[in-house]
A = this chain, B = another copy of it.
Amino acid sequence: MSGPNCMISLINVFTVDPANQHRLVELLTHATDEFVCRAPGFVSSTLHRSLDGRKVTMYAQWRSIEDYESMRRDPEPLPFLEEALTIASFEPGMYEIVRTFTPTDG
């Protein structure tokens, strides 16, 4: 499934003190709204807040690795991501989808 014509999924997990979870959500929302959504090859993303307050995870799909890496080189969203990294640690992950499962009657 790999190759230049395959969509990729980014699952980026931020770990944060619960007192800063709301601020982290604001920073990632702003960076996505203002910059990431406008980048060539951006397909969609969903921002998640963990129920225990300790994580914020962005699940994103991009047309290609090259499109994602071009966005990461854009200096405009960097101040928001740099502020995010003052309050959170960041575990990136770049994936391909193996399979999607739906409910089965037993």
Contacts and interface: CB of A to CB of B under 8 A. Distances in A.
Contact of A98 (B29, B33, B105): B29
A55 B93 contact: yes
A73 interface: no
Size category, A interface = 35 or more
A48 B101 CA distance: 12
A51 B8 contact: yes
A44 B101 contact: yes
A41 B25 CA distance: 28
A44 B98 CA distance: 14
12 contacts: A9-B48, A11-B13, A33-B104, A38-B103, A43-B103, A46-B99, A47-B97, A48-B95, A50-B94, A51-B65, A51-B95, A57-B93
Interface of A: 2, 8-9, 11, 13, 25, 29, 32-33, 36-38, 42-52, 55, 57, 59, 65, 91, 93-106
